[in-house]
Amino acid sequence: MIIPIDDKYRLKSDIDQWLLQKFTPTKKEPNKWQSFKFFSNPSSAVTALIQLRIRESEVETLVDALAEVDRVTASVLQALTPVFEVQEK
Protein backbone atom coordinates (compact mmCIF):
# COMPACT_ATOMS: atom_id res chain seq x y z
CA MET A 1 0.00 0.00 0.00
CA ILE A 2 1.24 3.50 -0.80
CA ILE A 3 -0.35 6.55 0.83
CA PRO A 4 0.75 9.86 -0.70
CA ILE A 5 1.02 12.68 1.83
CA ASP A 6 2.35 15.46 -0.38
CA ASP A 7 4.89 15.91 -3.17
CA LYS A 8 7.79 15.27 -0.75
CA TYR A 9 6.62 12.43 1.52
CA ARG A 10 4.56 9.27 1.42
CA LEU A 11 3.87 6.23 3.59
CA LYS A 12 4.33 2.75 2.21
CA SER A 13 3.62 -0.61 3.75
CA ASP A 14 4.72 -4.11 3.01
CA ILE A 15 3.90 -7.36 4.76
CA ASP A 16 6.32 -6.63 7.63
CA GLN A 17 6.43 -2.89 8.21
CA TRP A 18 5.42 0.70 7.49
CA LEU A 19 7.96 2.89 5.73
CA LEU A 20 8.31 6.64 5.60
CA GLN A 21 9.61 7.64 2.17
CA LYS A 22 11.01 10.86 0.74
CA PHE A 23 10.93 11.83 -2.92
CA THR A 24 14.56 11.85 -4.12
CA PRO A 25 14.62 12.12 -7.90
CA THR A 26 17.83 11.67 -9.87
CA LYS A 27 18.61 11.90 -13.57
CA LYS A 28 18.58 8.11 -13.82
CA GLU A 29 15.51 7.69 -11.62
CA PRO A 30 13.24 10.75 -11.89
CA ASN A 31 10.49 9.05 -9.85
CA LYS A 32 12.66 7.68 -7.04
CA TRP A 33 11.29 7.39 -3.51
CA GLN A 34 13.75 6.52 -0.74
CA SER A 35 12.70 4.79 2.48
CA PHE A 36 14.39 6.37 5.48
CA LYS A 37 12.37 5.38 8.56
CA PHE A 38 10.72 2.07 9.39
CA PHE A 39 7.85 1.34 11.78
CA SER A 40 5.86 -1.60 13.07
CA ASN A 41 2.51 0.23 12.96
CA PRO A 42 0.92 3.08 11.01
CA SER A 43 0.33 5.26 14.08
CA SER A 44 4.05 5.47 14.79
CA ALA A 45 4.75 6.29 11.15
CA VAL A 46 2.20 9.12 11.08
CA THR A 47 3.45 10.54 14.39
CA ALA A 48 7.05 10.50 13.13
CA LEU A 49 6.03 12.21 9.89
CA ILE A 50 4.21 14.98 11.76
CA GLN A 51 7.19 15.50 14.06
CA LEU A 52 9.59 15.58 11.11
CA ARG A 53 7.53 18.15 9.21
CA ILE A 54 7.36 20.37 12.31
CA ARG A 55 11.15 20.14 12.79
CA GLU A 56 11.65 21.07 9.11
CA SER A 57 9.60 24.23 9.50
CA GLU A 58 11.33 27.55 9.89
CA VAL A 59 9.25 28.97 12.73
CA GLU A 60 11.07 31.09 15.30
CA THR A 61 8.59 31.67 18.11
CA LEU A 62 6.55 29.44 20.37
CA VAL A 63 3.29 30.90 19.06
CA ASP A 64 4.35 30.15 15.48
CA ALA A 65 5.49 26.66 16.49
CA LEU A 66 2.11 25.85 18.04
CA ALA A 67 0.33 27.11 14.91
CA GLU A 68 2.69 24.98 12.79
CA VAL A 69 1.81 21.89 14.85
CA ASP A 70 -1.87 22.47 14.06
CA ARG A 71 -1.20 23.16 10.37
CA VAL A 72 1.05 20.13 9.83
CA THR A 73 -1.22 17.80 11.76
CA ALA A 74 -4.25 18.94 9.77
CA SER A 75 -2.48 18.54 6.41
CA VAL A 76 -1.21 15.04 7.21
CA LEU A 77 -4.58 13.91 8.55
CA GLN A 78 -6.32 15.33 5.48
CA ALA A 79 -4.00 13.30 3.26
CA LEU A 80 -4.93 10.19 5.24
CA THR A 81 -8.68 10.78 5.10
CA PRO A 82 -10.38 8.66 2.46
CA VAL A 83 -12.67 10.42 0.01
CA PHE A 84 -15.69 8.59 -1.32
CA GLU A 85 -17.85 9.66 -4.20
CA VAL A 86 -21.24 8.21 -4.98
CA GLN A 87 -22.00 8.25 -8.66
CA GLU A 88 -25.47 7.77 -10.00
CA LYS A 89 -25.98 5.69 -13.11
* Residue 86 falls inside a structural domain: no
Count of the separate structural domains present in the chain: 1
pLDDT of residue 34: 96
* Residue 17 falls inside a structural domain: yes
* Residue 15 falls inside a structural domain: yes
* Residue 89 falls inside a structural domain: no
pLDDT of residue 73: 87
* Residue 87 falls inside a structural domain: no
- Among candidate residues 20, 53, 59, the one with its CA nearest the CA of residue 36: 20
pLDDT of residue 36: 95
Range of the domain at 29: 2-80
Q: What is the mean pLDDT of each run of 10 residues along the chain (89 residues)?
A: 91 94 93 95 91 88 89 85 76
Percent helix / strand / coil, the chain, rounded to 5: 40, 25, 40
Query: Do the Cβ atoms of 46 and 53 come closer than 8 Å?
Result: no
Q: pTM score, two decimals?
A: 0.76
